[in-house]
Structure 1
Amino acid sequence: MDDLSIIELFRERDEKAIAEIKQKYDKLCLYVAGNILSQREDIEECINTAYYEIWNNIPPESPNDLRTYLCRIVRNIAIKRLQYNSAAKRNPKFTVPIDEIAECIPSDKGQSLSDDILADAISRFLRTQDEKHRKVFVRRYWYGDPLSKIAGYYDMKEKTVATYLFRTRKKLKAFLQKEGYDYE
């Protein structure tokens, strides 16, 4: 079943929508949440929470890209769960990518940053990058893949992947500064 049909099932409040989205995207959700969380129970709970959230959000929302919409929800829930699970301790498995990208993302002190506007700016920036740089960036900061796994995907050395990421983060920061984002 295609995404538009699934969204229409959600609009009609047909419970078949959950079964269809689960059938189509469950492996992807497991992958996204699994790169952030380590316990199977947490991963499954996160995914079920995401399905519940989508059930409650459609309607009124109507996502243009159901796959990206679902991945964003799963990822955000998984990150919140990771933060909850490691409240007083640091979990280096996923905090490293978050710490890396944090230097490029402006703080919202004194500004009312909209996540959607910032996400749109990052998307526009990524569209200006060549395909390999863009894919490496997304694998690291969206899917949370370790450098070794990314290197394996693209037949590169880990140092090359790290260099790609460093340079792309540097370009992203400059791009966002041109867009008027403040880093103070």
Structure 2
Amino acid sequence: MIRLFDFFFSLVGLIVGFPVLAILFVIGLFDTGSPLFRQQRVGRHERAFTLVKFRTMRVDTASVASHLASSAAITRFGHFLRRTKLDELPQLWNVLKGEMSLVGPRPCLFNQEELIEERRSRGVLEARPGITGLAQVNEIDMSTPLLLAETDARMLQSLNLKNYFKYIFMTVAGKGSGDRVRK
């Protein structure tokens, strides 16, 4: 049932949001010259997939987890995208393709071995990764792997349609600040 909602909402979001996506893309061209950011992430069953987001950092920034990146690498437009969470919109394509869900554990990088192991031991990697979830609305990010994996597992155990919509509405309403970045 949740996959049906994922497909429907991502398709509608991409169609209705196309003008916004196009405007953000063009502004991103002027900001960094390369408005889309693609990165290999750990997906369901530990399979690799390419996550797509709007670029918020300079093109020459090292490919590391956000909490390990320097805040100096974030562009002015990137700050706006992160604050409004608009940088996440292209992930609707990942949801439409079935690589992600709207709600699920945030997909990590393959070099985040501690988080992968904690998630593996709790069965979290059996689920589709998501754009938002319990950890995100409670400002728990990848800088605390054990807490994040425990929160992800707790969310998946109680994930039903009510909670699915709850996490989406909490995110849209601005709950959670997004990925933490080093100062």
Same fold (TM over 0.5): no
The structure where helix makes up a greater share of residues is: 1
Compute the TM-score of the two structures, normalised by the length of structure 1.
0.25
Larger radius of gyration: 1
The structure where strand makes up a greater share of residues is: 2
Structure of higher RCO (CA pairs closer than 8 Å, 6+ residues apart): 2
Compute the TM-score of the two structures, normalised by the length of structure 2.
0.25
